[in-house]
Amino acid sequence: MNDLRQISAAVARPLTQLGRAAFRFVFPPSCPRCRREVEFEERDGRGRLIAPVLCHQCAADLLPPPSRRCVRCGLPVGSHAPTDGCPHCRSSKFRFRSVIRCGLYDDAMRSACIRAKSSTESPLAAALVNLLWLHARHELDSEQIDVVVAVPRHWTKRLLHRHHAAETLARVLARRLNKPHGRGLLRKIKWTLDQSDLTAAERKLNLKDAFAVWSRPRSLAGKTVLLVDDILTTGTTANECTRALLHAGATQVIVAVIAVVPPHAR
């Protein structure tokens, strides 16, 4: 019986590879942002696409010029990068340890992030987080992450929109880091107003007790959690998620986002 299974697997594998090659010939891989054909795509050992890739031009459009960034909030800083925060975040009481980001929420990155929220643009969301991986791989690899979780939505929003960009980002990053994706681990248990229309004080009140970890007590004990979202504005949402994760026993939380909103755009 085992021999039969091995023979059928040995026959099926080349046929699957041949089928994929034929599919790629008819439908060549394309950049999810500009739809131009790309020559390169990355697949895992079983031939599954890891994430769509952006073409060189789109990657260049979205990546900011190299600069030092504040470890606490992800904003650019001068040649001297203080470890206790920059002028923009020094007075903020962040519970998360650091922010890893790809770019700034400005111009091209802003429109790409808005597009990636749409239900038909899941490949663009995956390509953006792949860009984050390529841009910040060393930082992400060096953090000893135990589990990757997305900033969650309330269940009423899940009913209305199946695609959730943050969940796509967490799935791709978990696969890249070869760590568990804690899908459903962190939940939004309170319906809240849209944060963008609120003041800083109202944002905090709006999100108070909005998140909870949904698993065995202390299941995160001693764990380093990578909390993933598409953008970071004032950090209030990430902070409230971090509060719930630390309450469930996590040792520390590191935030990874596609883009950080600069103070002038908040």
Please give the residue ranges that form the binding site for Zn ion (CB under 5 A): 31, 33-34, 55, 58, 70, 72-73, 85-86, 88-89
Shortest Cβ distance from residue 35 to Zn ion (Å)? 7
Nearer to Zn ion by C-beta: 47 or 263? 263
Nearer to Zn ion by C-beta: 88 or 188? 88
Nearer to Zn ion by C-beta: 72 or 176? 72
CA pair distance 210, 152, nearest whole angstrom: 10
Q: Which two tokens stand for residue 54?
A: 């952006």
The identity of residue 201, as a single letter, is A
Q: Do 104 and 58 touch, CB atoms closer than 8 A? A: no
Shortest Cβ distance from residue 87 to Zn ion (Å)? 8
Shortest Cβ distance from residue 254 to Zn ion (Å)? 15
- Collapsing DSSP states into helix, strand and coil, what is residue 99? strand
Shortest Cβ distance from residue 122 to Zn ion (Å)? 16
CA pair distance 230, 96, nearest whole angstrom: 16
Q: Do 130 and 172 touch, CB atoms closer than 8 A? A: yes
- Collapsing DSSP states into helix, strand and coil, what is residue 16? helix
Shortest Cβ distance from residue 73 to Zn ion (Å)? 3
Nearer to Zn ion by C-beta: 58 or 165? 58
Nearer to Zn ion by C-beta: 74 or 152? 74
**Pick from 71, 52, 54, 83: nearest CA to 136:** 71
Q: Do 246 and 221 touch, CB atoms closer than 8 A? A: no
